[in-house]
A and B are shown apart, each in its own frame.
Chain A
Amino acid sequence: MAKISVNIDEKNLEVEVGKTILEVCRENGIEILTMCHLKGISDVGACRLCLVEIEGVNKLLSACTTKIAANMIIRTKTEKIKRYQRITSELFFAERNHVCSVCVANGKCDLQKLGYKTEMDHIRYPYLFPECEVDTSHPWYVLDHNRCIMCTRCVRVCAEVEGAHNWNVMNRGNKVRIISDFNTPWGESETCTSCGKCVHACPTGAIWPKAIVQGQLEKKPEMITELIEKRKMNL
């Protein structure tokens, strides 16, 4: 594979062409915060946490969707980016009803970790407290909209890995919601195979298996990545 040289955070690197900035950073131990990215499934650039500054480009670009190019000079941890990451994190928390102390994902939640990583000590924006449903109609799993951050990892894993297309998004703006089939209860879904991939793909406590309580959730998103890679090998 052809190699190109790039500079990331003042470090000169020789990297393979065709990779995204995020892949290159992760391979070289440069930390990039993400919420909507899950290795193996398609990237959508929705959470805007992985924005990086590239010299000569007049806007911030999402590392997960931008392919690396020769001689790029990239900065991932400028003061501006850190400030923006913190605002994003605060907006996530203010948007829906995230109460860590009662959440099944407490201690294992990517959103919670994001709060620590961005050194968020307060949320400066008023909480929106939207009314959100909890769908418990599925025999094994629960979908709690209160804890959903609309990363759409469940939608993509269901469509791209399981091929069931059970999940989708409805409405616009801050009224967007994840829906099962055509907005019917999950338990009545005609497409869901109950495979549980969405449970592991979800970065928060929005989708979880029944019969567990606060802090007991075990998620293995890396299992999905492994599955995708093993399938590729079989092909």
Chain B
Amino acid sequence: MNRQDLQTKITAEKAIDLYKKYKPKLCVCCGAGCISSGSEEVLKKLEGEIKTRGLENEVELIPTGCMGPCNQGPLIKCLPEYTIYQKVDCSNIKAIVQSQLIEKKPIEDLLLFADSRPKPFIDAREDPYFKKQMKIALKDCGHINPEKIEDYLVQDGYAALDKILFQMSPEDVIAEIKHSRMRGRGGAGYPTGLKWETVYKYVSNQKYVICNGDEGDPGAFMDRSVLEGNPHRVLEGMCIAAYAVGANKGYAYIRGEYPLAIKRIESAIKQAKKLGLLGNNILGTDFSFDVEVRIGAGAFVCGEETALIASIEGKRGTPKPRPPFPAESGLWGKPTLINNVETFAGIAPIINNGGEWYSEIGTPKSAGTKVFALAGKINYSGLIEVPMGTSLREIVFDIGGGIQGGGEFKAAQTGGPSGGCIPAEHLDVKMDYESLISLGSIMGSGGLIVMDKSSDMVDVARYFMEFCMDESCGKCVPCRVGTKMMHDLLQKICDSKGTKIDLERLEELAVYVKECSLCGLGASAPNPLLSTLRHFRHEYENRITE
């Protein structure tokens, strides 16, 4: 399909959409979270009920990606009213169809947060849960059918790709991304524009673009939800990146534990190819770009870029020392751009709305929005997207609905096993890259585990150390043996058998492993230990026997 055919198609689809604008839509969340609480059955039942009542032409039923409050699922969102029903099961279907579609009256008892808020909102957008959020990466998640490219096209999908191909040079694209001040969402926060420019500058007849979807942090599921909710956005971002850096081949590396995400991105690739948005001569231009999916086999370390590259090459997934960086010598020794799923998901809006627009969101040093996966002892666990610089307090209490059972907040772990904890006295910390580092934690990929008073911080450190010890690839000595030693020492302290000397050894090893390890896994493995020692040292000292 060339550009003109596609535009005709989009115009037609948009006309249909406009026609359907006031037609009721029932969006049923079919993200992995809601599916596990039974949303597929709800969808089936709903379909049957609509058929029995002969409402097929009156209402549109859309299976969508994640809507956010995952532990309240299965969720049904009714448009255009924006009424969300929570914890829907098959017995509620008849009532929902009857009162929402026929009587046009919401069912108060089933509204989102009906069981936890004194007065739930009929228009869910007015709920503080959504009001405090700003969705850029997740914009279309929860509204569109991720398996239908037309749904995305109607939402100006692939408009950014069209724009760069016909109006911008690769240099322009890089300048725009640099101007947006976007930083990589994988964890380290490296400036995206700068990374693209570095790859662009290396001269090579072959370059690659890799999408890192090997999300492995316990409690993190941002990338999964983006891929499940709108895989086309990620593909579009990859295409733009490939055009900017001069690559013609891409790989989407998705972890094997995400079968739904894999299925959806594979179907997205097929559909995009069919419409000429991927493959040879995209939209009739000279630019060709193809994407293949590679499935991870369960190693956490494969989220580290050099290990991920080794894994794509079919080798054992172990990291390599850097330099040389993948930008210079990556996949099969060629210049390679590797970005996280969420980074790619943020590219199209920057192109569409301009880098200036993006740079004004968030804080001066951390622009844009960040997706967080809320988990742990929080009332509304799930997926949120907030501007950078939103305080932890707002996230936990205003959006997350506070601590389960009215308990007391003790700490939040950011960045998973590579991050650290933020204690209650720092609840007002602005969630951006620098502030978190200054507290001894990291932004990481966006996992946020909330802990209440029942959590034992020494045990938390031990748990994460055990995770790193098991996931160490075993290549370098500090990580392979050091994490094992630290784990054993932590276990000893947990068992109240540790001594003062053990604590000293532990601290010495932590700094050693941090400085000497070959890759980021080892270098960040001591972080949970160091940050719990910094903020909760008394808990360690209370366990120590003289």
Contacts and interface: CB of A to CB of B under 8 A. Distances in A.
A169 B481 CA distance: 16
Interface stretch (B208-216, B352-360, B417-425, B514-522): B514-522
Given A46-B477, A91-B477, A173 B471 contact: yes
Interface string B40-64: 0000000000000000000000000
A172 B481 contact: no
B509 interface: yes
Contacts of A45: 320-321, 476, 518
B481 A94 contact: yes
Contacts of B508: 87
A66 B323 contact: yes
A44 B475 contact: yes
Contact of B321 (A62, A91, A124, A173): A62
B417 to A, nearest CB: 13
Nearest to B523: A59
Contact of B474 (A60, A91, A171): A171
A88 B515 contact: no
Contact of B484 (A51, A124, A171, A174): A174
A169 B317 CA distance: 11
Interface in B476-508: 476-478, 480-485, 488, 505, 508
B480 A150 contact: yes
B517 A48 contact: yes
A62 B508 CA distance: 21
A46 B484 contact: no
A211 interface: no
Given A47-B476, A173-B469, A176-B474, A126 B481 contact: no
| Chain B interface category by residue count | 20 to 34
A44 to B, nearest CB: 7
A67 B474 CA distance: 25
Contacts of B323: 61, 66-67
Interface string A147-183: 0011010000000000000001101111110000000
Interface in A53-73: 59-62, 65-67
Contacts of B472: 172-174
Interface in B373-410: none
B470 interface: yes
B325 interface: no
A172 B471 contact: yes
Interface in B501-542: 505, 508-509, 512, 515-518, 523
A67 B324 CA distance: 9
A126 B488 contact: yes
A135 interface: no
B316 interface: yes
Given A45-B476, A87-B508, A60 B516 contact: yes
Nearest to B504: A124
B473 interface: yes
A48 B476 contact: yes
Nearest to A88: B477
A23 interface: no
30 contacts: A44-B475, A45-B476, A46-B477, A47-B476, A48-B476, A48-B516, A48-B517, A48-B518, A51-B516, A61-B323, A62-B321, A65-B321, A66-B321, A87-B508, A87-B509, A91-B481, A94-B485, A95-B481, A124-B505, A126-B485, A149-B477, A150-B474, A150-B475, A152-B475, A168-B316, A171-B474, A172-B473, A173-B480, A174-B484, A176-B473
Interface of A: 44-48, 51, 59-62, 65-67, 84, 87-88, 91-92, 94-95, 124-126, 128, 149-150, 152, 168-169, 171-176
Given A47-B476, A65-B320, A169-B474, 17 more contacts: A45-B321, A46-B475, A46-B518, A62-B321, A87-B509, A91-B481, A92-B477, A92-B481, A94-B485, A149-B477, A172-B301, A172-B474, A173-B472, A173-B483, A174-B469, A176-B473, A176-B474
Pairs A-B, 3 closest by C-beta atoms: A176-B474, A45-B321, A91-B481
